[in-house]
Structure 1
């Protein structure tokens, strides 16, 4: 009897997502360049003349890291100038560099090096969001909110946002979908108790089910891989045979199982592959229009 390893039909199913989601040539979106004009070289501006950026998407600044940066600034000064725009006579508004601005105030500095740029409110918002998204220390929920704001206020597609920030399109979609998770789960992600991988695995769950799952994941200190297996067990309880049924149940083809798991991780949605001798169907469940759009985008 041919095995899954030698059966060419089975082997095709084991090629991964490429066999189900054909690759498409990269499309460079036509995004209008942000029209900002550098008005001069860095100059020292009084800290008190600079106002906070009202479009700032960051909500968490680690106080320990701010203290460390303040100490560094006291010793060596600000290495990279902040970026501001003029909003009045001797008054400026931050565009980027809020951590350096806050740390300089902590350090007791009177001035800070800054580059003045000409930008309207819309350009300021876009520059702030994109700059923040390119930072490695922005937490996943903040990233999701920033991407959602780019989509809502600038009508950018997920592909355009991915191109603009250097991230994968599917990752952008997953960040945005994190905002559907219950508030309890989002707060645990913001605090770092749950990682992006944990949260992404829970996207297939909804409401109280996601909250209960998060509580168990935290209590048992599950890894991301263990979380993925746990969630799959919750949404596919029939795949776990009862002890007395084990002798009568045929083991699932590992290639089919791997393809199904990859699809679920890629889409963040419940996926079921029903396969019989190389023929069958792929069932993808979605809860709303955003999920449906993500499926269409992935399929091209």
Structure 2
């Protein structure tokens, strides 16, 4: 197969990596990636070298005889990272619509380890804005249930600080869904800091929405008691932060690569960091 093929609709061809350009909506470069993201891409690139590229990327030919990548940006970055010279690709007739691009990007990003519930929420919002869709129409387009779309979209009600916590993994998505139902940002922060179990959080939220703790499950605290745990929850976060700093200092003394230190810390403290 040629390294610089002519544009053939839906024909799988081999294209030089040097001729492949990311779409303008996917401008990420290798020097912008975190160590964890690079490690993930290194695994992907190594797999493509050892086992072959299992799925071709999709591209559109440009007037300058180069190619714009429509889907497969992670594979392109991985190929560059491990020094691959070419990738198999499907050359499309023309540029997909904006909606098709957004759906492709959403599907590709779903496979990325760091793709958070907030990322998904923002992608859903973009598709709704672009097409003036209802939740039902969006669900049909991305092949998920309407209830799943509605649940994800509730996260847009979170205050910016908690959206950031979800994105970084400090706040679990399962907890964020409940907290997002409370409109008051200060109450949202109090609930997040309290360190409640899922059941206790659900009861607290229901109580706040109804103005009284009706329907409390056996063994769970009333809303007043729940919110009084805020100070204890903050102290828990401070303790976690001190332990994290101590561990980073210990690993730093071992003269390990910064990426290895970061990955080790993430593996040890990832679950602990959830509140």
TM-score by length of 1: 0.59
Whether 2:94 is the aligned partner of 1:119: answer yes
Deviations 1:122-177 (A, max 9, x none): 24524424534764853211111111111101122210111122212122122223
Which one of 117, 121, 133 corresponds to residue 156 of structure 1?
133
Match of 2:62, SS state, is strand
Contact 1:201 1:227 in 2 (8 A): yes
Shift of 1:39: 0.6
| TM-superposed deviation, 1:93 | 1.1
- Aligned mates of 2:127, 2:27 — CA distance in 1: 11
Partner of 1:226: 200
Q: 1:100 to 1:133 in 2, by over 3 A?
A: closer
Gap regions ≥5 residues in structure 2: 1-6, 218-275
More divergent stretch after superposition (52-61 vs 85-94): 52-61
Aligned to 1:107: 82
Higher helix share: 2
Higher strand share: 1
Alignment gaps of 5+ in structure 1: 1-36, 241-251, 255-300
Q: Distance in 1 between the 2:124 and 2:17 partners?
A: 30
**16, 25, 40: which one aligns with 1:55:** 25
Match of 1:131 in 2: 107
| Higher CA-based Rg | 1
Pairwise CA distance, 1:182: 1.0
Compute the RMSD of aligned alpha carbons.
3.0
Identify the residue that residue 214 of structure 1 maps to in structure 2. 192
State the distance in 2 between where 1:110 and 1:153 align. Answer: 36
Give the 3-state SS of the residue equivalent to 1:204 in structure 2.
Answer: coil
Q: How many residues align?
A: 203
Matches within 5 A, 1:176-255: 176-206=153-183, 207-216=185-194, 220=195, 222-236=196-210, 238-239=212-213
C-alpha displacement of 1:87: 2.2
